[in-house]
C-alpha cells in the first residue's frame, strides 16, 4: 500500500454502540433461525420443482419470511440509532372506522 491510500478515511461509522452481550447473542440467534427457515422454504420449493409440482407456495412463504427479517433488521438498526417504534396495537387512537365513530 502506498501512503496516498491512507489519505481518504471513511468516517461514516464513528459512533460506538454498546449493547449487552446477551442482547447481541439473542439477536444473532433470531436472525440465524429466520435464515434457517428461509433456507428450508427454498429447499422445499426446489424439491417441489424437481417433482414437477408448483413451488409458488414455498417461494411466497420464503419471500414473506425475508420481508419479516428485513423489518426485524430495520427495527433493530433504528433502535440502535435511538428511534423508538410503536406498534399499531399500542396506540389508543382510532382512524374513524370504529363502530362508535371515534376518530383521532
Model pLDDT for residues 36-82, shown as the tens digit of each residue: 999 999 999 999 999 999 999 999 999 999 999 999 988 888 877 77
How confident is the model at residue 56, as a pLDDT?
Answer: 96
How confident is the model at residue 43, as a pLDDT?
Answer: 97
**Coil, helix or strand for 103?**
strand
How confident is the model at residue 1, as a pLDDT?
Answer: 47
Answer for the pair 31, 72: CB distance below 8 angstroms, yes or no.
Answer: yes
Of 60 and 20, more confident: 60
Report the pLDDT averaged over residues 13-22.
65
Q: What is the value of pTM for the model shown?
A: 0.60
What are the respective helix, strand and coil percentages of the chain, to the nearest 5? 60, 0, 40
Amino acid at each position: 500500500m502506498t501512503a496516498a491510500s491512507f489519505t481518504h478515511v471513511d468516517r461514516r461509522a464513528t459512533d460506538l454502540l454498546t449493547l449487552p452481550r446477551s442482547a447481541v447473542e439473542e439477536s444473532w440467534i433470531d436472525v440465524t433461525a429466520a435464515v434457517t427457515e428461509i433456507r428450508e422454504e427454498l429447499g422445499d420449493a426446489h424439491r417441489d420443482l424437481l417433482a414437477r409440482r408448483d413451488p409458488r407456495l414455498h417461494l411466497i412463504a420464503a419471500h414473506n419470511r425475508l420481508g419479516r427479517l428485513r423489518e426485524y433488521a430495520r427495527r433493530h438498526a433504528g433502535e440502535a440509532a435511538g428511534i423508538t417504534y410503536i406498534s399499531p396495537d399500542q396506540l389508543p387512537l382510532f382512524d374513524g372506522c370504529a363502530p362508535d365513530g371515534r376518530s383521532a
